[in-house]
Amino acid sequence: MDSPQQPQIYLVTPLAFEPDSFCQRLAPVLDSVEIACIRLHLAGRDEDGVLRAADALREVAHARDIALVIADHQILAQRLGLDGVHLGDGARSVRAARRALGPDAIVGAFCGASRHDGISAGEAGADYIAFGPAAAGALGDGAAAGIELFRWWSEMIELPVVAEGGLSPALVRELAPHTDFFAIGEEIWASDDPLQALEDLTQAMR
C-alpha cells in the first residue's frame, strides 16, 4: 500500500456477515469508488466461517485487482493466498508476521493512540500503522487518537498512516490532510445505502 497525496479508502468488513449476501452489497461499492484494500475482520474464532468469508471476498476483490488482508489470522493469510495481515496488537506480532509472510505481503499494525507502538511497529517491518479510534469510544480502550497524533505522524514519519473508528464527514475533513488512508467499515455497512454513505465520506476528503 503506497502513500498517496489524497487519502485512499481501505474498507473493513462487518464483524459478522453472510458471505454471499455481503458480497452482493460489496460489489457495487467496489465498482463505484476506488478502493485501495479490503480487510476481512470477523469476530470470533469460527474457522469454517472465516474460510467461507475469505474465499468469497477474495474472488470479489481480486477480480477487481484490490488487495485483501485478514485481521490477525496470519496462518490463514498464507493458506488462503491473501495479500497480507492486519495485526491488532500493536508492534508485538509484526516481526514474526513479516518473517512468516515474506517481504511482498502487506503487514499492517493497529496501534491505538500510541505513538511509541506505531514507531516500534514500523521498525519491526510494518507497511502501515493504523491509529484509532478517531472518535472517542469506537475502538480499543475508547481513548481517541486525536488529530495531533496524525499531524505529528504525517510530518515526522514516512510510513503510511491509517485513520479508523467513528469516522464522520466532519472528522474525515479534519483528518484528510494528515492521513494516507481511511479505514471505513460500520460507518457505511450500518446504512441502508452503503454506497451513498461512503460517497458522503469521500466527498469530505476533497
pLDDT in tens, 85-139: 999 999 999 999 999 999 999 999 999 999 999 999 999 999 999 999 998 764 5
With beta carbons less than 8 A apart as the criterion, state whether 60 and 23 touch: yes
pLDDT of residue 137: 60
Using alpha carbons only, give the angle 161, 166, 170 rounded to the nearest 5 degrees: 85
Fold annotation for 8-203: TIM Barrel (3.20.20)
Residue 54 has pLDDT above 90, yes or no: yes
Q: Is 15 helix (H, G, I), strand (E, B) or coil?
A: coil
Distance CA 109, CA 89 (A): 7
Full-model pTM: 0.93
Distance CA 205, CA 202 (A): 5
Mean pLDDT of 38-55: 92
pLDDT of residue 108: 98
Residue 82 has pLDDT above 80, yes or no: yes
Confidence at 190, pLDDT banded by 50, 70, 90: very high
Please report, to the nearest 10 degrees, the dihedral formed by the alpha carbons of residues 197, 200, 204, 206 taken in order. Answer: 110
Give the relative orientation of helices 115-124 and 94-101 as an angle to the nearest 10 degrees: 30
Using only the alpha carbons of the chain, give its radius of gyration: 16
Distance CA 190, CA 180 (A): 24
List the one residue out of 159, 166, 172, 168 whose CA is nearest residue 143.
Answer: 166
Mean pLDDT, the chain, integer: 93
